[in-house]
């Protein structure tokens, strides 16, 4: 059985769920602390005076969140590594090849877990800080709107709170300069790490069993980064660059030549097996393995991007629902959620991609 980074992505969901639930709690705290006396004079002054309550609420949320996410993340990475190891053992067993030593070095998995914990640090910092800025901003904007006499304070406050709900807790920028909403950022970090742990454990097992080559799957709906490597044979270790490798082949009664497109490390450095990637590598046995070609009517990369967009919209309107100060706003948010869910159903039916209900949630943990 081959393993792709995408195979481990479901392991990220419990972790992302913890963060998304915390985000919703934060939005509800804001809503509840801003609501009292909203239509009465003196609201802004009273709410400003009460801002310490928000700070205390946030300080209560973070430690529990940190403990839960730390545990969930460690477990996710361990399970991902186990998945990879098992898949490799399965492939070896299929060809009646020995699996190599029982226990492999777990340092790579531990290193991945530590790096992931570091990825979360900015998130806790933002959860403590940003809602306090938003709280002050909502009070200021609601007061301004009313002074200008154009709109009611409820509408002005709702507008300011909606702006926050639309984005959620933000400020996460990846190494390529793209900014992410919280749930997507965390899921991206965990999926990337779990994906790496799985594919690494897979090839580590193959290498420990004395194997030299893997081939790259062609799942269709290709991501541009991986296309150059599709269907190619790669060396598990060794120098970069295409070359011919001669190997002993008992059944063929002599040597066979394997054309490799490069090394696995080289392909990964060029972006192959990025986060969420569905490209896998499988054991390649010279003279035995025939590399399969792409399935004919694979769903396109574009439709998977459209699915991600709809999932983001659903999460956005669920945050709006949590931020709703009255029933009108709540009903409007719910109908937008249903619209996007309907579009998503149509898309997944046409594209054949499975729906990922957890990615549409902001509160599925509690
Ligand atoms: Zn890919």
Query: Where do the structural domains in the chain lie, given as residue ranges?
Result: 5-211, 212-297
Give CA separation, 226 vs 5, 8, 58, 109, 125, in Å. 12, 18, 42, 24, 35
**Phi, psi (deg, nearest 5) at residue 209:** -85, 5
pLDDT along the chain (366 residues), means of 10: 79 86 92 90 92 96 94 93 92 92 86 91 92 94 72 86 89 77 84 90 94 87 82 92 86 82 93 82 90 62 78 89 92 91 81 64 41
Please, which residues have CB within 8 angstroms of residue 340's CB and are 6 or more apart in sequence? 310, 313, 314, 317
Distance CA 297, CA 293 (A): 12
Give residue 330 CA to ligand 1 midpoint distance, Å. Answer: 39
The pLDDT, as a whole number, for residue 363 is: 40
The pLDDT, as a whole number, for residue 251 is: 65
The pLDDT, as a whole number, for residue 297 is: 52
Give residue 216 CA to ligand 1 midpoint distance, Å. Answer: 10
Give residue 5 CA to ligand 1 midpoint distance, Å. Answer: 9
Give residue 3 CA to ligand 1 midpoint distance, Å. Answer: 12
Give residue 142 CA to ligand 1 midpoint distance, Å. Answer: 47
Give residue 225 CA to ligand 1 midpoint distance, Å. Answer: 6
Give residue 224 CA to ligand 1 midpoint distance, Å. Answer: 7
Give residue 279 CA to ligand 1 midpoint distance, Å. Answer: 5
In tens, the pLDDT along 135-167 reads 999 999 888 866 665 568 888 899 899 999 988
Distance CA 77, CA 49 (A): 44
Give residue 23 CA to ligand 1 midpoint distance, Å. Answer: 30
DSSP state of 105: P
Contact (CB, 8 A) for 231 and 216:
yes
In tens, the pLDDT along 315-357 reads 889 999 999 998 999 999 999 999 888 888 888 777 666 666 6
The pLDDT, as a whole number, for residue 9 is: 78
Distance of CA 67 to the CA centre of its chain: 20
Give residue 123 CA to ligand 1 midpoint distance, Å. Answer: 27
| Cβ neighbourhood burial of 96 (10 Å; 0-12, 13-18, 19+) | exposed
DSSP code string of 188-233: HHHHHHHHHHHHHHHHHHHHHTT--EEEE---SS--TTTGGGTT-E
The pLDDT, as a whole number, for residue 6 is: 79
* Extended strands (E) in the chain: 172-173, 179-180, 213-216, 233-235, 243-249, 254-260, 262-263, 281-283
Give residue 290 CA to ligand 1 midpoint distance, Å. Answer: 21
Positive/negative CA dihedral, 351, 353, 355, 358: negative
DSSP code string of 43-96: HHHHHHHTHHHHHHHHHHHHHHHHHHHHHHHHHHHHHHHHHHHHHHHHHHHHTT
The first and second tokens of residue 241, run together, are 């660059």
Give residue 93 CA to ligand 1 midpoint distance, Å. Answer: 27
Distance CA 7, CA 279 (A): 9
Give residue 364 CA to ligand 1 midpoint distance, Å. Answer: 28
Distance CA 180, CA 174 (A): 8
Give residue 227 CA to ligand 1 midpoint distance, Å. Answer: 7
């Amino acid at each position: 059985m081959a393993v792709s980074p995408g195979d481990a992505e479901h392991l990220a969901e419990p972790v992302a769920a913890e963060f998304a639930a915390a985000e919703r709690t934060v939005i509800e705290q804001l809503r509840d602390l801003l609501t009292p006396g909203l239509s009465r004079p003196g609201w802004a002054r009273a709410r400003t005076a009460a801002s310490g309550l928000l700070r205390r609420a946030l300080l209560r949320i973070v430690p529990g969140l940190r403990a839960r996410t730390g545990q969930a993340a460690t477990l996710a990475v361990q399970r991902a590594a186990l998945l990879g190891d098992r898949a490799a053992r399965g492939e070896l067993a299929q060809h009646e090849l020995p699996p190599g030593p029982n226990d492999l070095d777990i340092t790579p998995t531990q290193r991945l877990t530590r790096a992931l914990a570091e990825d979360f640090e900015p998130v806790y910092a933002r959860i403590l800080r940003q809602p306090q800025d938003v709280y002050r901003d909502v009070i200021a904007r609601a007061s301004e709107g009313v002074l200008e006499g154009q709109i009611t304070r409820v509408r002005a406050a709702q507008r300011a709170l909606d702006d926050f709900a639309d984005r959620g807790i933000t400020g996460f920028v990846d190494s390529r300069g793209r900014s992410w909403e919280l749930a997507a950022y965390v899921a991206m970090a965990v999926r990337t790490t779990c994906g790496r742990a799985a594919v690494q454990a897979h090839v580590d097992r193959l290498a420990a069993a004395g194997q030299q080559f893997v081939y790259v799957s062609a799942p269709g709906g290709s991501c541009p980064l991986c296309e150059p490597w599709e269907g190619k044979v790669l060396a598990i270790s060794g120098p970069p660059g295409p070359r011919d490798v001669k190997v002993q082949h008992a059944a063929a009664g002599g040597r066979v030549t394997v054309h490799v497109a490069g090394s696995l490390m080289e392909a990964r450095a060029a972006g192959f097996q990025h986060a969420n990637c569905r490209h896998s590598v499988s054991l390649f046995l010279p003279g035995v393995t025939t590399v399969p070609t792409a399935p004919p009517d694979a769903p396109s990369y574009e439709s998977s991007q459209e699915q991600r967009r709809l999932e983001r919209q659903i999460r956005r309107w669920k945050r709006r629902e949590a931020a709703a100060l009255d029933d009108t706003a709540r009903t409007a948010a719910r109908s937008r959620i249903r619209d996007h869910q309907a579009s998503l159903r149509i898309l997944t039916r046409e594209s054949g991609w499975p729906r990922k209900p957890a990615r549409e949630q902001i509160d599925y943990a509690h």
